[in-house]
Chains A and B, each alone.
Chain A
Amino acid sequence: MAEKKMVSLTIEGRPVSVPEGTSILEAAKVVGILIPHYCYHPGLPVAGVCRMCLVEVEKALKLAPSCATSVAEGQVVHVHTERALEARKGVLEFLLINHPLDCPICDQSGECELQDYTYQEGRADSRYRDPKRFNPVEDFGGDVLYVPNRCILCTRCVRFMDDVAHETVLNVSDRGDRAIIGKFEGKDLTHPWSGNVVDLCPVGALLSKDFLNKARAWELDRVASICPSCTQGCNITIETRDSQVARLKPRPNEDVNRFFMCDYGRLNYRWMNRTDRAELPLVRTEGELRSIDWDIAIHAAASLLRDARTFVLASPMLSNEALHLLSRLMQRKGGAGAFRVATGEEAPLAGVEDLALRRDRAANVNGAQMFGFQRSERPLEAMRDGDVLVIADDDLTGIAADEVARASQVIVIGTTLPGAASAAAVLLPITNFSEEEGTFTNLRGRVQRFMQARPAPGLARPSWLVLGDLLGALREQDSFYLPSDVFAKIASSHPAFSGLSYESLGMRGLPVLESETAGAAR
Chain B
Amino acid sequence: MGFPHPSHRQETPLLTRHFGEAEARTLDGWKKRGGYQALEKVLAMTPGEIVDIVKESGLRGRGGAGFPTGLKWSFMKPGDGKPHYLCCNADESEPGTFKDREVMRWTPHALVEGCAIAAYAIGAETTYIYIRGEFTEPLLRMERAVREAYDAGILGANAMGTGKRIDIYVHRGAGAYICGEETALMESLEGRRGNPRIKPPFPAVSGVFGQPTTINNVETLAAVPEILMKGAAWYKAMSLSNPKSTGTKLYSVCGNIRRPGTYEVVMGFPFKDFLHDVCGGALDGRKLKAVIPGGASVPIQTMEEAEATLMDYEGFAAQGSMLGSGGVIVIDDAQSMVAVIARLTRFFAHESCGQCTQCREGTAWTTKIVERIRDGHGTMEDLDTLVEIGENMTGTTICVLSDSCAVPVISGITKFRSEFESLIHGKRVHSVLTAVA
Residue-by-residue, is A62-82 near B (CB-CB < 8 Å gives 1, otherwise 0)? 110100100000000000000
Give chain B residues whose Cβ lies under 8 Å from the Cβ of A471.
none
Contact A51 B362 (CB under 8 A): no
Cα distance A91–B351 in the bound complex, in angstroms: 20
Please give me the residue from chain A that is nearest to B363 by CB atom: A176
Using Cβ atoms and an 8 Å threshold, which residues of chain B touch A211? none
Chain B residue numbers with a CB within 8 Å of A172 are 193, 354-355
Q: Once the chains bind, are B354 and A175 in contact (CB under 8 Å)? A: yes
Cβ contact within 8 Å between B198 and A94: no
A177 touches B363 (CB 8 A): yes
B192-205: CB near A (< 8 Å → 1, else 0) gives: 01000010000000
Question: Closest A-chain residue to B362, C-beta based?
Answer: A94
- A-chain residues with CB within 8 Å of residue B358 when the two chains form the complex: 51, 90-91, 94
Residue from A54, A63, A153 within 8 A of B360 (CB atoms): A153
Residues of B45-85 whose CB lies within 8 A of A: none
The reply on A338 being an interface residue by CB < 8 A is no
State how many angstroms separate the Cβ of B203 from the closest Cβ of chain A.
17
Cα–Cα, bound, A471→B385 (Å): 76
Instruction: Judge if B372 is at the interface, Cβ distance under 8 Å.
Output: yes
A residues less than 8 Å from B356 (CB atoms): 49-51
A90 touches B353 (CB 8 A): no
Which residues of B lie under 8 Å from residue A65 when comparing CB positions?
Answer: 198
Q: Quote the shortest CB–CB distance from A393 to chain B (angstroms).
A: 52
Q: Would A49 and B355 be within 8 Å (CB), given that A63-B396, A68-B198 are in contact?
A: yes
B416 at the interface (CB under 8 A from A): no
Per-residue CB contact flags for chain B residues 394-416 toward chain A (1 = under 8 Å, else 0) read 01111000000000000000000
Which of A47, A54, A86, A130 is within 8 Å of B368, CB to CB? A130
Contact: A91 with B350, CB < 8 Å?
no
Chain A residue nearest in CB terms to B393: A90
Nearest-CB distance from B344 to chain A (Å)? Answer: 15
Cα–Cα, bound, A155→B353 (Å)? 13
B353 contacts across to A, CB distance below 8 A: 175-176
Q: For chain B, give the interface size range.
A: 20 to 34
Q: Which among A62, A93, A94, A127 has the greatest number of chain B C-beta atoms within 10 A?
A: A94
A87 at the interface (CB under 8 A from B): yes
CB neighbours of B361 from chain A (8 A): 94-95, 97-98, 177
A130-B372 in contact given A153-B360, A176-B353 (Cβ < 8 Å)? yes
Query: Do B363 and A94 touch (CB < 8 A)?
Result: no
Does B392 belong to the interface (CB within 8 Å)?
A: yes
Within the complex, which residue of B360, B369, B396 is in contact with A176, where a contact is CB–CB below 8 Å?
B360
A179 within 8 A of B: yes
Contact A63–B395 (Cβ < 8 Å): yes
A359 vs B161: C-alpha distance when bound (angstroms): 64
A50/B354 in contact, CB under 8 A: no
Q: Given the complex of chains A and B, what is the CA–CA distance between A130 and B369 in angstroms?
A: 8
B30 lies within 8 A of chain A by Cβ: no
| Complex CA–CA separation, A62 to B356 (angstroms) | 16
Residues of A within 8 A of B381 (CB): 127
B357 at interface by CB-CB < 8 Å: yes
**Which B residues from 151 to 170 make CB contacts under 8 A with A?**
none
How near does chain A come to B46, taking the closest CB pair, in angstroms?
36
Interface residue? A372 (CB, 8 A): no
Chain B nearest CB: distance from A70 CB in Å?
9
Q: Does A348 contact B (CB under 8 A)?
A: no
Q: Enumerate chain A residues within 8 angstroms of B363, measured Cβ to Cβ.
A: 176-177
Closest residue of A by beta carbon distance from B394: A62
- Which of chain B's residues have a CB closer than 8 A to the CB of A47? 355
Chain B residue with the shortest CB-CB distance to A86: B392
A169 vs chain B, min Cβ distance (A)? 15
Given A63-B395, A176-B350: A91 and B357 within 8 A (CB)? Answer: yes
Q: Which of A95, A130, A175 has the most CB of B within 10 A?
A: A175
A14 to chain B, nearest CB (A): 25
Whether a CB of chain B sits under 8 angstroms from the CB of A128 is yes
- A252 interface residue, CB < 8 Å from B? no
Interface membership of A48, Cβ < 8 A: yes
A177 and B395 contact, CB distance less than 8 A: no
Nearest A residue to B381 via CB reads A127
Interface centre among B176, B353, B356 (most CB of A within 10 A): B356
Measured CA separation A95–B359 after assembly (Å): 11
Min CB distance B137 to A, Å, is 26
Residue of B nearest to A154 (CB): B357
For A178, what are the chain B residues with a Cβ–Cβ distance below 8 Å? 354
B331-359 CB mask vs A (1 if < 8 Å, else 0) is 00000000000000000011111111110
Question: Which residues of A have CB within 8 Å of B349?
Answer: 176-177
Q: Is A52 an interface residue (CB 8 A)?
A: yes
Q: Give the Cβ gap from B397 to chain A, nearest Cβ, in Å.
A: 6
CA distance A130 to B367 in the complex (A): 11
B150 within 8 A of A: no
Q: What 1/0 mask marks residues of chain B from 364 to 403 whose CB sits below 8 Å from any chain A CB? A: 1100110010000000010001001101100111100000
| CA gap between A54 and B394 in the complex, in Å | 13
- A48 touching B198, Cβ below 8 Å: yes
- List, in ascending order, chain B residues with CB within 8 A of A97's CB: 361, 365
* Chain A CB within 10 A, most for which of B193, B381, B388, B392: B392
With contacts A49-B398, A62-B395 taken as known, whether A94 is within 8 angstroms of B365 at the C-beta atoms is: yes
CB distance from A34 to the nearest CB of B (A): 19
Given A153-B355, A176-B354, do A54 and B396 touch, yes or no (CB 8 Å)?
yes
Cβ of B376 to closest chain A Cβ, rounded Å = 15
B368 touches A52 (CB 8 A): no
> Which B-chain residue is minimally distant from A128 (CB atoms)?
B365
CA distance A172 to B195 in the complex (A): 11
Question: Chain B contacts of A94 at CB under 8 A?
Answer: 357-358, 360-362, 365, 392
Nearest CB in chain A: distance from B402 CB, A: 9
Q: Looking across the interface, which residue of chain B has its beta carbon closest to that of A152?
A: B357
Residues of B within 8 A of A86 (CB): 392
B352 touches A175 (CB 8 A): yes
Query: What is the bound-complex CA distance between A50 and B389, given in angstroms?
Result: 16
Contact B198 A95 (CB under 8 A): no
Is B385 a contact partner of A176 (Cβ separation < 8 A)?
no
Q: Nearest Cβ distance between residue A99 and chain B, in whole angstroms? A: 10
Q: Which of B176, B354, B372, B396 contacts A90 (CB 8 A)?
A: B396
Q: Given the complex of chains A and B, what is the CA–CA distance between A51 and B364 in angstroms?
A: 17
Partner of B396, one of A87, A93, A127: A87
Residue contact A127 to B385, C-beta cutoff 8 Å: yes
Binary flags per residue of A28-65, CB closer than 8 Å to B gives 1, else 0: 00000000000000000011111110100000011101
CB pair A51 B397 closer than 8 Å: yes
B181 → A minimal CB distance (Å): 13
Sorted nearest first, the 10 A-B pairs with minimum C-beta distance are A90-B392, A177-B364, A179-B354, A94-B361, A176-B352, A49-B355, A130-B368, A48-B198, A175-B354, A176-B354
- Residues in B lying within 8 Å of A, measured CB to CB: 176, 178, 193, 198, 349-358, 360-365, 368-369, 372, 381, 385, 388-389, 391-392, 395-398
Mind listing 20 A-B residue pairs with CB under 8 Å?
A49-B355, A50-B357, A51-B356, A51-B357, A63-B395, A63-B396, A91-B396, A93-B392, A94-B361, A94-B365, A94-B392, A97-B361, A97-B365, A98-B361, A153-B357, A153-B360, A175-B353, A176-B353, A176-B354, A177-B349
Contacts A155-B355, A175-B351, A176-B350 known; 8 new A-B pairs at CB < 8 A: A49-B357, A68-B198, A127-B381, A152-B357, A153-B357, A174-B354, A176-B352, A177-B363
